[in-house]
Structure 1
Amino acid sequence: LRNTGPEDLFIKVMCCGICHTDIHQIKNHLGMSRYPMVPGHEMVGEALEVGSEVTKFKTGDIVGVGLLVGCCRSCRACDADIEQYCNKKIWSYNDVYTDGNPTQGGFAESMVVDQKFVVKIPEGMSPEQAAPLLCAGVTVYSPLNHFGLKKSGLKGAILGLGGVGHMGVKISKAMGHHVTVISSSDKKKVEALDHLGADEYLVSSDSATMEQAADSFDYIIDTVPVNHPLEPYLSLLKVDGKLILMGVINTPLQFISPMVMLGRKVITGSFI
């Protein structure tokens, strides 16, 4: 670890979530892993030391750190407070910090992080509850907020019920949406409906029910992290509906353009 600078916090890690991106990095699925590596980017811990210029936190605060620990602070994205789109962003692990040393993530015992990339965890929220919100939770909330999809009464779908999919159901329901989980089989139906509170469950391999659901969703949050066809899901969107890609996939996805053109539909992506 580097020494604690004037704007840094020295944080003792209490817990850290496991994101599918960690699996990608550990196994070098994206061809960009650097070893040795300490993964983890959904970290919650206690601030044991704060730098002399830290204004947002004090010793003893319970804090969280997500996917980023640095940025250029001068580009258009940084000026707009969307540092996740900075071309010079620094990942919380598997990257190189401004001092030339490798960054290491939340699977470690401690971290040193600039206060700009630290958040306060509210009192009453357990570290285990808070940690997944730092990536999976923000990943789902961010596009709903940006694309104007927070208003109640919308009809949305969550494609895939992994970590991000779980958050998608909970956050969309909290916004007052009618939420359908889409999965390739019915093995997660009880979990989706009874445990997470989804309104409906749609099996994508059932062509009859997929056809019945055509033109019915305002948005679909696609969390699937492996290559899959987009056309079956584009057909489920209303006019002006949005297919929001969340999964990290390193092979090309395909669709035919009339599927988008004839409904003025949007295929887009969002990153934390």
Structure 2
Amino acid sequence: MAVPDKFTGYGALSPETWKELKQIEFEPKPFEEYDVDIKIEYCGVCGSDLHTLRSGWGPTMYPCIVGHEIVGKAVRIGSKVTTIKVGDTVGVGANAWSCGECRSCLSDSEQYCPDLVETYNFKYKDGSRAYGGYSDYSRTHERMVFPIPENLPSALAAPMLCAGVTVYSPLVRSKVGPGSRVGIVGIGGLGHFAIMFAKALGAEVTAISHTSSKSADAAKMGASNFIATSTEKWAEKHSRTLDIILCTSFAKDIPLEEYISMLDVGGTMIYVGIPESALPPLPPGLMIGNNSALRGSNTGSKKEVLEMLKLAADQGIKSWVEEVPMEKCIEAVEKLERGEARYRLVLKNAAFLARHGRGEEDDAEDEAAGYCVEFLVRAAGGGGGTASIKIHIYPALPKLPNAQPSLTHISGKWAVCSGTIEPTDASPLAASLREIAEETQLTPPSISLLRRGRPFTLRDETIHTDWTIHPFAFLLASPTTPITIDFEHTEYTFVTPSQLSEYDTVPALADTTLRVLPGAEVEDALRTLRADHTSGATALATLALLTLRRALLP
């Protein structure tokens, strides 16, 4: 699949305008032998995104494109990549690169590598920038790319790659298991994962929040107990009742002393939420009195990510998510800032999903979507296309792969190159050239525009969608021009337009063909025109107009 030289995403230009995310074209890091290019399907919205966009954790490098809970398709791999293949569903979390040689990297703690490059707002050693997943593509080192289990939906897997592993890692490193008493402070995006994973590991879970408004949700997630810190003497009532406290809150005025007092002897409080200010003062005598400890934790290793994803897939752990179209990322960021996410927002790259037959059917209800259809044509023996199309000129038909959830009615049918016109496409023709490059790796001068058909509307009642079809025919430079089909297709062949009836095709393919490739009746008329040396100009003009009408307006 051809990957563009520049990617496109939604980013902030300054801390003053951090909510006004603009569409930005950017140049990714140079592609190297261990890199994986990913066509992004989903990207979770993380609290880190807000802090970075507004420079809350320190100066941000603008323009800044955030997003580090990425899931999509691997569309290109470096020559030394061994664990990922093109077509795999993969994910990327908060980190994009580590050295692979230091003590941390060699002990499955690469997230603590001193030379770590995070997924966004970082620079590589060559000076190139790291940009996040509010984008169409991601380029990441194989070490930080994770295969997604087949039975784990992509939209649910995405937020696990930062929020999920950020709480999973300290839980397993603290050896949480049956008999452990774990308190979770903050029932938000991080906290809801912490409750579910602690429960899955066998712990008795206590959810801790300011009010009891989320107590019912916490119980559904797996919490056995609930503490509302707005009630009187809440800490005193639960003194020394917990072995581990995992603080996921970003609050600046956290009651740190009270939390430490709830730890049993030898207990530990672990910080994973990072406020934009210093922690409150803590009397050392309090920690000495119960032999407690306070420490932090940073995301997780690849080993832990893979363990977590397997646990989620095996035990049916499901993220509580709300999907938002990628182009509405501003609304998602604002909703998260208001504290209205329940409990994780996930951006959906609708243009990519529509082209691949994925996404919600209702999203397309009664809406017309731009769609380009490309016929690849070759002339037998390199004859330049002057012979009869019926016999000598053939359109290429790649076969669609196995069923996708919302387009099962066309799974396994024959089709031509096609795809949605994306917002970044300059025109339907540009979209067609992009689609051909992605699906066959062919670009000009290997192909040239032969004919452009008149757009028309096609209603697909199965998925309640109106498609505005833009048909194009492209001539191969040579009948021997090699075609490399991408992961979306299983095989291809060449047929004449008249042979289409012998194949099980997608809807209206034969009619669409006539808009750019004349059928037998039109060819007979053209042959008659060329051979007629006796008829008058009026008769010939009438026949020519009828022929043109049949070719362009079937």
The two structures share one fold, judged by TM-score above 0.5: yes
Counterpart of 2:242 in structure 1 is 217
TM-score where L is the length of structure 1:
0.95
Counterpart of 1:203 in structure 2 is 228
Counterpart of 2:108 in structure 1 is 81
For residue 29 of structure 1, report the CA deviation from its aligned partner. 0.4
Counterpart of 1:164 in structure 2 is 190
User: Structure 1 segments of 4 or more deviating over 3 A?
Assistant: none
Give SS of 1:207's match. coil
Ranges in structure 2 where 5+ consecutive residues have no aligned partner: 1-27, 300-554
Counterpart of 2:522 in structure 1 is none
CA contact (8 A) 1:229 1:255 kept: no
- Work out the percentage of aligned pairs sharing the same amino acid: 36
Counterpart of 2:173 in structure 1 is 146
Matches of 2:261 and 2:68, distance apart in 1? 35
Matches of 2:272 and 2:243, distance apart in 1? 17
Q: Which structure shows the bigger proportion of residues in helix conformation?
A: 2
Counterpart of 2:127 in structure 1 is 100
**Computing the radius of gyration over CA atoms, which structure comes out larger, 1 or 2?**
2
Give SS of 1:221's match. strand
Counterpart of 2:69 in structure 1 is 42
Q: Deviations over 1:56-110 (max 9, x none)?
A: 1111000000111112333221222211111210011111123311111111100
Give SS of 2:122's match. coil
Q: Which of 1 and 2 has higher RCO (CA within 8 Å, sep 6+)?
A: 1
For residue 26 of structure 1, report the CA deviation from its aligned partner. 0.8
CA contact (8 A) 1:203 1:210 kept: no
Q: Deviations over 1:123-157 (max 9, x none)?
A: 111111111111111111111111222x2121111
Counterpart of 1:226 in structure 2 is 251
Counterpart of 1:239 in structure 2 is 265
Matches of 1:185 and 1:164, distance apart in 2? 17
Q: Figure out how many residues of one structure are paired with residues of the other and give that number.
A: 270
Matches of 2:78 and 2:204, distance apart in 1? 46
Ranges in structure 1 where 5+ consecutive residues have no aligned partner: none
Counterpart of 2:82 in structure 1 is 55
Q: Deviations over 1:231-270 (max 9, x none)?
A: 0111111101111111112422221111100110011111
Trace 1:102-141 onto structure 2 (pairs within 5 A): 102-141=129-168
Matches of 2:247 and 2:104, distance apart in 1? 24
Matches of 1:137 and 1:152, distance apart in 2? 20
Give SS of 1:238's match. strand
For residue 204 of structure 1, report the CA deviation from its aligned partner. 1.1
Matches of 1:77 and 1:32, distance apart in 2? 27
Counterpart of 2:278 in structure 1 is 252
CA RMSD of aligned residues (A): 1.3
Matches of 1:258 and 1:207, distance apart in 2? 24
The residue identity in structure 2 corresponding to 1:14 is E
Matches of 1:240 and 1:78, distance apart in 2? 29
For residue 191 of structure 1, report the CA deviation from its aligned partner. 1.6
Matches of 1:104 and 1:71, distance apart in 2? 16
The residue identity in structure 2 corresponding to 1:249 is P
Worse-matched range after superposition: 56-65 or 201-210: 201-210
CA contact (8 A) 1:4 1:50 kept: no
CA contact (8 A) 1:182 1:202 kept: yes
The residue identity in structure 2 corresponding to 1:264 is N
